[in-house]
Chains A and B, each alone.
Chain A
């Protein structure tokens, strides 16, 4: 760095201490003298009001704005796509966070908190216990004592999901957002709101699975599982089973497979 201060400079220039620097940066001057610092004048010039030349692209930008409005109207209602993007990003974060928690802490912290490992158990391709499908139920940890069970018993909700009634609520909002026509992914940055869906994503074991998970949760709640005795639902061979999407069809297939075995 060529412009490090030399000791001899130190008193020559007006001192620019940390406080003054911070005042200059924030524009909130605790010391009125800051305003008279040469650097204040420089920064004021750097942020001076625009010249006409700087704004000559305004009409073009406004035209782009109108064009984008038209396109977005064509795409469908504004805002939906944002929620999709948010969900995807939040999901990714949650999944990463869980993966980190899982590997770094070995799930011990989670286990200590909840009495079981609801999330770490459900993701696909996690080395599920290699037990025959019919006995999966035994490998599932028992729900913690005192936790009320909502929804259908057994496997119709993902194993060990806590607070399934709260999740059902989240599911409804999620599906409401998910269903309408899908737009293209926006370039908007993440943030804000959709953190509310994080528990849902965690419970489902991934964003891609939320829709299927929710359908199950809600159908289970609303009409007691039309075609499946649910208790017997096999977990499927480890590593292969992706996630039960539709309660009906897949289960039949799986049941066949189980019989074939």
Chain B
């Protein structure tokens, strides 16, 4: 992860100097996660909001100062702002903001137990968490922000974010358990052993 970050920090600098290929590398690294995060906030408008976000990113890129970690924070701030804008512009009667992506339909039920969940299914599960937990998990895990960055963006303390994120993960564990199809069931016979 650290090495990837270093490479992407280098790509970031190159993109700031005008290297389009470097910019594409950045895009490929960030966009999928951005869209997944945004899909939880704005549902199907995620692609559109992501495009607006990139538009803004390209305009400010030359002036941005910081490494890739900071860049992640920046793009999250912009993406989230655009998402909230998008939500504000909606009909009050429109479907709820926290639309969940359709659960994965591509894997047959038969091999479900051995298949890892699809990305969509995973995001849908996270989206089903209480809003604060879901967003905290998304910021930390999907957007790759650290606690401090997430805290800044959500306007809470780092401790609060830590607690909320852990709650979110525990909730996810419970939900997986209840679903009865933990993605790795059967992998680990010794998995039941309680950790110290």
Contact = CB atoms under 8 A, between A and B. Distances in A.
A188 B77 CA distance: 11
B32 A45 contact: no
Q: Chain A CB within 10 Å — which of B70, B78, B182, B195 has the most?
A: B195
Given A58-B24, A187-B59, A41 B117 contact: yes
Contact of B47 (A12, A57, A86): A57
A16 B20 contact: no
Given A57-B31, A58-B28, A187-B59, A25 B165 contact: yes
A257 to B, nearest CB: 43
A31 B193 CA distance: 14
B145 to A, nearest CB: 10
Interface string A186-218: 111101110000000000000000000000000
Describe A's contact surface by its main secondary structure. helix
Contacts of B70: 191
A65 B27 CA distance: 11
Interface string A160-193: 0000000000000000000000000011110111
A46 B181 CA distance: 17
A193 to B, nearest CB: 7
Interface residues of A, number: 67
Interface string A46-72: 111111001101101110111111011
B102 to A, nearest CB: 13
Contacts of B24: 58, 62
A47 B33 contact: yes
Contacts of A81: 63
A113 to B, nearest CB: 29
A14 interface: yes
B142 A46 contact: yes
Interface size class of B (residues with CB under 8 A): 35 or more
Interface string B25-50: 00110011101100000000001001
A39 B176 contact: yes
B31 A3 contact: no
Given A42-B172, A46-B36, A57-B51, A78 B63 contact: yes
A137 B23 CA distance: 58
Interface string B101-117: 00000000000000011
B63 A21 contact: no
B169 A46 contact: no
A119 interface: no
Contacts of B66: 191-192
B170 interface: yes
A188 B65 contact: yes
A187 to B, nearest CB: 4
A3 B185 CA distance: 22
A3 B192 contact: no
B174 interface: yes
A85 interface: yes
Interface in A247-261: none
A31 B196 CA distance: 11
Contacts of A78: 16, 62-63
A7 to B, nearest CB: 12
A43 to B, nearest CB: 5
A138 interface: no
Contacts of B27: 55, 58, 61-62
A46 B122 contact: yes
Interface of A: 1-3, 5, 9, 11-22, 24-25, 27-28, 31, 33, 36-51, 54-55, 57-58, 60-62, 64-69, 71-72, 78-79, 81-82, 85-86, 186-189, 191-193
Interface of B: 1, 15-16, 18, 20, 23-24, 27-28, 31-33, 35-36, 47, 50-51, 54-56, 58-66, 70, 73-74, 77-78, 116-119, 121-123, 125-126, 129-130, 140-142, 165-166, 169-177, 182-185, 187-188, 191-192, 194-195
Given A13-B173, A39-B176, A191-B70, 19 more contacts: A11-B194, A13-B177, A24-B141, A25-B141, A25-B165, A25-B169, A33-B195, A36-B191, A38-B184, A45-B121, A51-B119, A54-B32, A55-B27, A57-B50, A60-B51, A68-B62, A78-B16, A186-B62, A188-B60
23 contacts: A3-B129, A3-B175, A9-B177, A13-B174, A14-B195, A16-B170, A25-B169, A28-B1, A38-B176, A38-B183, A39-B173, A39-B176, A47-B141, A47-B142, A48-B122, A51-B32, A51-B119, A55-B27, A57-B47, A61-B31, A64-B54, A67-B58, A79-B62
